[in-house]
Structure 1
């Protein structure tokens, strides 16, 4: 074959990446977003297994190349919706993973089903590489460029089309790839192009949105089980599917951790859920403040007992409960920051009358922005920065956020907030109370670390924490708490039966009076975290309470291996819920990725006759290394740019697209160059850039965080471009070298590279949790160096 079907390759690759991104959204709705790394791994498993199939069946597929390629594209079109529907029929419940022995097998079944569309997508792309290896640079360029366009394009489509409907559009796109291939390959059966084009139109126009089954354990499912509950509004965007629920028979009364002494109840409320998680409350407000008295009975009202007419910044405003609290407590001005425009739109538009025009009131300003980015970019000072209770108790207590990156609860985030406080101003953070203490102590440790790194010699004078029966609130002051303020804190707790955890000068007998525990665990933890034995306390504590940082932004990770055995032994006495399930799920996914890769990629290669004709260890090491290293760098830098771009959607779309597009460009340029030593030079340049970026990106981002979104996107692309171009050189160059001497080994190399990507997608996340993203980049540099050494020993 003289000319490969380049445009068909680009369309098919765009479809593969778009489907991969879409699956993460669909599983966020159906289950939880932690399945993103499993989706990436399943995609790479499909690609790797396709390489094994090509190695074993190359002779047959070569003779029928046109039919094989078109059939692979058509199979992917059919399998994208059908595999997703079948995966939903598997009764997999991640919450039972640790005690139901059948759940790991169900997880494996889901994993293998999700792999199938990617297998046929990879089969089509790999087949072209196998037959046109000498044009590997051009093929790689169209492959990666298409993937970049697909990853960015699908996110743009999500703004106007709900995710279940996009699945039908991607089916149409895959059929279009088959039709274009018929034309490009000049197949005799011209009618196939017309047939597949008709299938594409039919799929786009006539296929209904596929149902997405919501887990019965999600908050929205539980809410809808209540008699009289009904959905009154639903909106979708890449940030989440927003659902508003009303119940006239059993009205929602949502006041997290309200004092047991309270004699008032909240007004009628609507429940607002995002991807089935929540609720946040949209409270009926008619302009009168008296019905909002219940808001003064929450632990989050503590800062208003100390501040008079404060200028307030609410981070994570949601449907407006914290804004109402600030109004009731007499704030001089209120600025609210909310990321999801659909949530803002509901309060401003559809439910404006119900909410009393809350977001249009004088003195209330609403910003559509990511909280950390807003704090970093601004210069205005506030008397109170209130970090809202952003998640639900159900998801927090079940350990559902263990692998969630959060740049709002890191040491650097606290430092940024402290810089935005006026003299005497207060940062207030409210979290759910968990027993044994986890969130609260980690929050306290983070505040201590932030104050120390900000140059405060005695953090104890600037910290206050109280707890109710279900929530804790931490105050961090820009200055020492006065005796009058401490008296006000004591009175606030006494009148509401809240327990102080820590305030300056607190005695042990003042703790654990109202909501009594066997011991004053919270007070003892606070004292230990403020004392000289802090390091020993953190190391010996049964849960991981090391402060989160921007390099390891996993605030919700509390899992420790040393305590896992003890907690598992207590499973029949209630110990299992104390094991954050998301971390074991990550480990289970890594194990199943290794198992599935070995069975579907390595074992067939090892048992086949073709193993005798394949290149030796250096070639295997080369493609294995560049597979691991590429995905390590990609995942690490996507996270690095998340903080700078402030908007997680922009970070994923821009960074992933830039990596793929410029890697494709680098591969194309490498193919046009006849210079010797391209791979070592590219790896050396990549290593220098990666290590340089680790040093300069934090201060650079801090200095330029105030730029406009458009300017930051352009800068991000410019920063990623040289790094990605260097990373795009090794793979097509290696393929080209095989094509000139060992062409039969190309599918085998494709499979080995796929195996590395399968395992690397999960392993990178696991390493980032334990070591941080900087360590993942260092490891990637070392692995690339191993690839450079292996490349010198190519046959």
Structure 2
């Protein structure tokens, strides 16, 4: 294997390690921390790429001995990944800044590696960039599989082995290779240790700042101390099954937070008689009891409610396949709940499943995902497409005559937000202001205070037609028998919280509370973010990344060489400014795509394995195609191309939603194919600009390449943070629009200022290079097919070998006020 191919493979393997490590960190921190802290820590760590690129500027390295030098950087990256993973698992409650530092060291090493490669070999930037991105796509496929097979910490260590592979490829001396062999043995041992539970759950239990950790702690008296029975990792989440009592049931926790319950069910409903007074049980007493859809059944409590009340057909859609597998594996414990006659459990996104269905349901239920009120802060930055105006429209459209939508939410503010969103939908469909309340009943949670003006874990029952006096009377009788409290009954028990909606309309209703209860849409799907304005931590992260980005952009001007400009050349600052715009704009476009295709594909892991994969492959291919475009021989041509890319991104965003809505009913394989078709060409356009910037800027002055890498890295973080901030305040379409505008602005500046610059033409041998590039792309296509087959098998409904008969209905469960069962 010649040195050129070893260098390109080294770049690919290191990039695979970096993106695999980043995704693995996100999964690990999602378990260890709340979501907003995860975003904070991972963003801070990724800033290390920019720091590493800046560090490389101080390294005087030429072509001679480049591979040997890069090999040691890759080895440092590998060792810091492995050590960092073990430290984060062993000391999960280290200070946040220390956590950022530990997680960020491998990114610093990777940033120095990549910036050094592109500085020394800037004339080949466009082909090297292709290998960089193709390697990243390979890393996505690897980490998706590694998380499932190895677990979170071990998957991080496996990513370090990819970096070590890059080191081995680039090592030139026997001593270096022996050192790499020793490091490989150490990493294998660390991986084996990590597979058997490297995370210190005791430290997490002492912190007790997430529901699962409190369950493990057992409270002040130490009673009901939980024990982890089983743990599953995936690219979606870490799923734990925890035994707190061992008698009534077991608790599921997803990333240590959102939880659900799996009851011990011996086959006799009378053993679970106490459940009949739960507010979540209440909706199942009413209606035709023919077909029910449960979105997010978790451990199966709502499936059990439907069975106990005799529903004929029960469909349940659970997004977490690990929960479904665990429930089925413990069929002897739960009475084979998911395999009983008349129960069909599907894996995927519930809303996606519903919108592709032509069935009508007598009940559509969205059970409460268990979390304390304080824990909801952690979900403020997380998108939730189940409680948007468009989602409610889909639910109501799929209700049969007389059917109801049942939602259980966590607190009073979220109840108000649901009502505001329903009112927005009502007005959009031409309804009279405030009359949505005639279609709504609210039942207080089982342990709620009937005298309080604020609802406690309320149940909302919504139907298409206004509630009749007979229906309200029937509901009141059953509530009285079950000792449940009605929070709101239209015309019978009105509440001051809803008065502004009755009398003054939606705007007054939203303004009547200090919290943000404005309607939620697919464009702004942050349902749990009820705090007015941006989250404080997000603001600090935005300011911090902005400060570092500006510092990286301007600080090099202190060196005279960075201010030099010869006749016919573009000022170095302009190259850095253009790279900054590309970094921020690309991330905004990428995040928008992942959001849109996440709902379309219906399974979170497919978003990584299809949408992000296609984007990276397309971007890498665009880098190679760009090397043959004569337009990119001049800075002005590159600027013009960036303007065109920005305009296309803007138009693309306008058409994307309609295209995805039109194809939503397609089969999974067809939707995957459409995703590849829609994303890869856009990736090709996006992939032409940055490597051309590296090549043209490096040919002008090789010393500015680390500067370009640095500002691109910092502004990429700023772009990702800015995209979330814009999405929360003005919507995802606004974030895409800003990203497209940044491309246009940066390109226009380079075009106008670079018109006088001379063309820079560089020729190299492309036949051999392109042959290896095509071979790599074909290999990657094969790897993608294998990974997709694995994920597709998980996301599709597995065939059951046998159905278990339903237990006999216990009439004692049925309320006397409803008459005969």
Please tell me whether the aligned partners of residues 40 and 758 of structure 1 are also in contact (alpha carbons under 8 angstroms): no
Q: 1:205 to 1:682 in 2, by over 3 A?
A: farther
Q: What displacement does 1:323 show?
A: 0.8
Change (3 A) 1:278 1:785: closer
Stretch deviating more after TM superposition (335-344 or 19-28): 335-344
Aligned length: 720
2: CA distance between counterparts of 1:425 and 1:354? 33
1:575-633 Cα offsets, whole Å, 9 max, x none, are xxxxxxx922222323333455567x457635555444483442232111111101111
Question: In the alignment, is residue 204 of structure 1 matched against residue 179 of structure 2?
Answer: no
CA distance in 2, matches of 1:485, 1:636: 44
1:749-760 superposed matches below 5 A: 749-760=708-719
Q: Is the 8 A contact 2:239 2:322 kept in 1?
A: yes
Partner of 1:583: 535
1:626 aligns with 582
Aligned-partner Cα distance in 2 for 1:585–1:627: 22
- 2:530 maps to 558
| Counterpart residue number, 2:26 | 24
User: What's the CA shift string for 1:183-205, capped at 9, x where partnerless?
Assistant: xxxx3x24533542453355236
Of 525-534 and 743-752, deviating more is 525-534
Q: Give the counterpart of 2:476 among 479, 490, 495.
A: 490
Aligned to 1:465: 442
| 1:73 Cα offset (Å) | 0.3
Measured in 2, the distance between the counterparts of 1:714 and 1:164 equals 33
1:786 equivalent to 2:788? Answer no
- 2:71 and 2:169 in contact (8 A); partners too: no
Label 1:81 to 1:609 Cα distance change in 2 as closer, same or farther (>3 A). Answer: farther
- The equivalent of 1:714 in structure 2 is 673
Q: Which of 5, 8, 11 does residue 6 from structure 1 map onto?
A: 8
Offset, 1:761? 2.0
Residues 283-315 of structure 1, C-alpha deviation per residue, up to 9 Å, x if partnerless? 111222223333321222332343242421111
* 2: CA distance, partners of 1:682 / 1:612: 26
**DSSP 3-state at the match of 1:672:** coil
Deviations 1:722-745 (A, max 9, x none): 211111111111111112222221
- Give the secondary-structure state (helix, strand or coil) at the position aligned to 1:400: helix
Partner residue in 1 for 2:761: none
Q: Which residue of 2 aligns with 1:743?
A: 702
Post-superposition CA distance 1:377-428 (Å, at most 9, x none): 11111100011112322554x5221111111011111111111110111010
Q: CA RMSD in A?
A: 2.6
Rounded to whole Å, the distance in 1 between the matches of 2:341 and 2:90 is 51
Contact (CA 8 Å) 1:687, 1:781: kept in 2 or not? Answer: yes
Give yes or no for contact 1:459–1:530 (8 Å, CA) kept in 2: no
Aligned partner (choices 213, 235, 239) of residue 242 of structure 1: 239
Q: How does 1:539-554 map to 2 (within 5 A)?
A: 539-554=511-526
CA distance in 2, matches of 1:162, 1:658: 25
Partners in 1 of 2:557 and 2:199 — Cα distance?
40
Are residues 1:768 and 2:744 paired?
Answer: no
Aligned to 2:556: 605
Superimposed CA distance per residue, residues 73-119 of structure 1 (whole angstroms, 9 cap, x where no aligned partner): 011011113234445677868xxxxxxxxxxxx43333233221111
Residues in 1 aligned to 2:743 and 2:717: alpha-carbon distance in whole angstroms? 17
* Native 8 Å contact 1:49 1:597 kept in 2: no
CA contact (8 A) 2:49 2:112 kept: yes
Q: Is the 8 Å Cα contact of residues 89 and 153 (structure 2) preserved in structure 1? A: no
Give 1:663 shift: 0.8
- Contact 1:411–1:548, Cα closer than 8 Å, also in 2: yes
Q: Give SS of 1:476's match.
A: strand
Please report how far the alpha carbon of residue 236 of structure 1 lies from its aligned counterpart in structure 2 after TM superposition: 2.4
Q: Residue 387 of structure 1: which of 328, 349, 366 is its match? A: 366
| Contact 1:292 1:325 (8 Å CA) reproduced | no
8 Å contact 2:631–2:638 — kept in the other structure?
no
Residues of 2 paired with 1:108 and 1:239: CA distance?
26
Kept in 2, the 8 Å contact 1:551–1:774? The answer is: yes
Residue matched to 2:785: none
Question: CA, structure 1 residues 711+202, in 2 after alignment: closer, same or farther (shift >3 Å)?
Answer: farther
2:161 aligns to what SS in structure 1? helix
1:504 correspondence with 2:499: no
- Which deviates the most, 21-30 or 644-653? 644-653
SS of equivalent to 1:740: helix
Alignment-derived partner of residue 419 in structure 2: 444
Contact 2:293/2:314, CA 8 A, preserved across alignment: yes
Query: Aligned partners of 1:755 and 1:603: how far apart in 2?
Result: 13
Q: Distance in 1 between matches of 2:572 and 2:78?
A: 37
How far residue 39 of structure 1 moved from its aligned partner, in angstroms, is: 5.2
Determine which of 319, 344, 347 is the counterpart of 1:368.
Answer: 347
The CA distance in 1 between the partners of 2:363 and 2:542, in whole Å, is: 43
TM-fit CA distance, 1:443: 1.2
Residues 166 and 92 from structure 1, CA distance in 2 versus in 1: closer, same or farther, beyond 3 angstroms?
Answer: closer
Q: Does 1:644 align with 2:623?
A: no
Q: Match of 2:818?
A: none
Structure 1 residues 395 and 157 mapped into 2: Cα distance closer, same or farther (>3 Å)?
farther
Q: 1:45 to 1:233 in 2, by over 3 A?
A: closer
1:170 is aligned, of 147, 155, 159, to: 159
Q: Which runs of 5+ in 1 are unaligned?
A: 94-105, 253-266, 512-522, 562-581
In structure 2, what is the equivalent of residue 82 of structure 1? 83
1:425 aligned partner: 403
Contact 1:678 1:729 in 2 (8 A): no
Q: Over residues 755-780 of structure 1, what are the superposed CA-to-partner deviations in whole Å (9 max), with x where a residue is unaligned?
A: 21122221211111111110011111
Please identify, of 408-417 and 290-299, the stretch whose mean Cα deviation from structure 2 is larger: 290-299
Query: In structure 2, what is the equivalent of residue 518 of structure 1?
Result: none
Q: Once the two structures are superposed, what CA deviation does each residue of 1:312-365 show, in whole Å capped at 9, x if it has no partner?
A: 11110111101111112222221111122221122212x211111111211211
Offset from partner CA, 1:695-748 (integer Å, 9 cap, x none):
332232222212222221121111011211111111111111112222221111
SS of alignment partner, residue 281 of structure 1? strand
CA offset digits 1:622-679 (Å, max 9, x no partner): 1111111011111111101111011112113322222111111111110122235653
Q: CA deviation at 1:370?
A: 1.4
Q: Is the alpha carbon distance of 1:597 and 1:68 closer, same or farther for their aligned partners in structure 2, counting shifts above 3 Å?
A: farther
Compared CA separation, residues 244 and 41, structure 1 to 2 (3 A): closer
- Residues 584 and 125 of structure 1, relative CA distance in 2, 3 Å threshold: same
Please give the alpha-carbon distance, in whole angstroms, between the structure 1 residues aligned to 2:659 and 2:439. Answer: 30
Structure 2 gap ranges (5+): 449-455, 566-570, 758-821
Contact 2:143 2:159 in 1 (8 A): no
TM-score by length of 2: 0.83
Give the corresponding residue for 1:575.
Answer: none
Q: 309, 324, 331: which one pairs with 1:344?
A: 324
**Equivalent residue number for residue 525 of structure 1:** 497
Q: Does residue 321 in structure 1 map to residue 301 in structure 2?
A: yes
**In the alignment, structure 1 residue 723 sits paired with structure 2 residue 682:** yes
Q: In 2, Cα distance between the equivalents of 1:661 and 1:205? A: 33
CA distance in 2, matches of 1:657, 1:24: 17
Partner of 2:464: 478
Matched residue SS, 2:458: strand
> Is 1:593 aligned to residue 545 of structure 2?
yes
How has the CA–CA distance of structure 1 residues 19 and 49 changed in structure 2, closer, same or farther, with 3 Å as cutoff? same
Relative distance call for 1:402 and 1:29 in structure 2 (3 A) is same
